[in-house]
Amino acid sequence: MGGVLFFVNNRDALLKSVVFDRGGNTDSGIVAVSSGNNQQPSTQPEGNWQDTLNKIVPGGGGTSNDTESMTGKLAQGIIARAPQLQSQDGAPLDEQSTQDAVNSILKDVPEGSIAIVHTLKELSISDDSSAQALKAYGYSLLKIFKLYSKNFEGIGYEITIVEKVVSTGDESELSKLPAIENLYKDMIYDLIALKVPKDVEKIHFNLVNGYEVAISSIRDMESVVSDPARGLVGISRYKAVSQIIQNNLINLDSLFTARGVVF
């Protein structure tokens, strides 16, 4: 299982058409992101864009179902290790009471949304959305992903690290997370510096801000032992933003196909 960089590796997932837009501001400063549920599935490419994404998935990567399963297990592990989060009536901890505790903690966590940290004005938007410009953008994006996938190999991946901490109680592993946050920060700077064709600006906008949410989620996950409730919130937000990032990459893949861009 990799980090949030690396979730597009499943053919079935690539057959889902997901369209994103900025949505609307809420009082919390969160922007709702459309899931595109009313869109019809589109034919996905057999070409090298998908193949290249597959190749940058460390350790075989993970599907959204893998992420769902892992974060669910992490939540159960956190509740089991944190008496302060369990029912005070002395009842034994079972599947339902665990889920009730999780739901209570996460009831105020927004779903399907990302916070706006960076604005469109920060991006270098080009009016040129020709096939050639889109192809150049795609190659530049993949170059960034490949670079940082190699950098992650020397540290480990955030969900795997947190899973180990929850299962073993070894807090020392958490010291690796700040380095991962810094890698994502550096990657965001590189993404902002890219020349972005106008027709993919919303996708790129969501990727940049999605990775910012990933950073704050990982920061919350650092507290999984000292403040289990905060750690659980971080895991939940991480799961949600992983899906958002995956869906944006799927949507980008669809756009390349529609424009006849082959890598």
d(CA 235, CA 72): 9
User: How far apart (Å, rounded) are the C-alpha atoms in residues 108 and 186?
Assistant: 30
What distance in Å separates the CA atoms of residue 208 and residue 188, rounded to the nearest whole number? 6
Contacts of 66 (CB under 8 A, 6+ apart): 1
What pLDDT is stored for residue 196 in this prediction? 97
pTM over 0.85: no
Residues 48 and 65 sit within 8 Å (Cβ to Cβ): no
pLDDT digits (tens, 9 = 90+) for 5-55: 543 333 233 223 222 222 333 333 333 333 333 333 333 334 455 554 444
Residues of the chain with pLDDT under 50: 1, 6-47, 52-67, 84-89, 91-94, 97-98, 112
Q: Kindly report the backbone phi and psi dihedral angles of residue 15, in degrees, each rounded to the nearest multiple of 5, phi listed first.
A: -90, 0
β-bridge pairing 30-32 and 113-115: antiparallel
